[in-house]
């Protein structure tokens, strides 16, 4: 079983208390995939999110990264809409990075208006990841680790 506490710092950085109902929902989804895939090691998690014009953050999808698969829980706060795809870096056919208000992505605290979007196509699968503020550095790490050749 994967240790959910490994992701506490990340969740706190994007405004989710790991002990809240949202944190518990994330843990439930991770546990489901753990059971489904016989406790394969979860390498990373990422939550796609955007900050709306009114300043409220909207969480879109929970992404789980394993050695050979990527899993998505769409609309994870309100639904159980889960999928999974086998993944290989050599199968990435296309990726696109979009930056907004990011001067130096390695800066520890990007501006409050910072936004990063990554689209990627692997065989017939298309995925889109979105991040704002502090989550931008996490998304760039995901990009560098899983999608960049």
Q: What is the pLDDT of residue 110?
A: 58
Q: What is the pLDDT of residue 106?
A: 59
Q: Determine the Cα–Cα distance for residues 90 and 148; give it in Å rounded to an integer.
A: 10
Q: Determine the Cα–Cα distance for residues 109 and 10; give it in Å rounded to an integer.
A: 14
Q: Determine the Cα–Cα distance for residues 117 and 130; give it in Å rounded to an integer.
A: 4
pLDDT at 108 over 90: no
Contact 34, 24 (CB under 8 A): no
- Least reliable range by pLDDT among 79-83, 97-101, 110-114, 140-144: 110-114
Cα of first residue to Cα of last residue in the chain, in angstroms, is 30
Q: How do residues 26-64 score in pLDDT, each as one tens digit?
A: 999 999 999 998 878 899 999 999 988 898 899 999 999
81 versus 149: the higher-pLDDT residue is 81
Q: What is the pLDDT of residue 122?
A: 66
Cβ atoms within 10 Å, residue 94: 10
Q: For tokens 């843990």, name the residue.
A: 27
- Least reliable range by pLDDT among 66-70, 94-98, 109-113: 109-113
Q: What is the pLDDT of residue 107?
A: 58
Q: What is the pLDDT of residue 5?
A: 85
Distance (Å) of CA 33 to CA 5, 69, 105, 147: 16, 11, 31, 22
Q: What is the pLDDT of residue 99?
A: 75
């Amino acid at each position: 079983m994967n240790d959910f506490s490994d992701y506490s710092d990340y969740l706190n950085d994007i405004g989710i208390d790991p002990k809240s109902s949202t944190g518990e929902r994330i843990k439930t989804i991770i546990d489901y995939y753990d059971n489904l895939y016989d406790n394969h090691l979860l390498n990373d998690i990422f939550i796609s999110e955007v900050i709306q014009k009114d300043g409220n953050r909207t969480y879109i999808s929970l992404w789980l990264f394993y050695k050979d698969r990527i899993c998505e829980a769409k609309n994870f706060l309100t639904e159980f809409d889960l999928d999974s795809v086998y993944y290989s870096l050599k199968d990435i056919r296309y990726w696109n990075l979009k930056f907004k208000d990011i001067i130096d992505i390695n800066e520890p605290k990007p501006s409050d208006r910072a936004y990063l979007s990554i689209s990627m196509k692997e065989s017939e699968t298309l995925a889109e990841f979105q991040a704002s503020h502090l989550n931008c550095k996490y998304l760039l790490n995901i990009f560098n680790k899983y999608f960049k050749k």
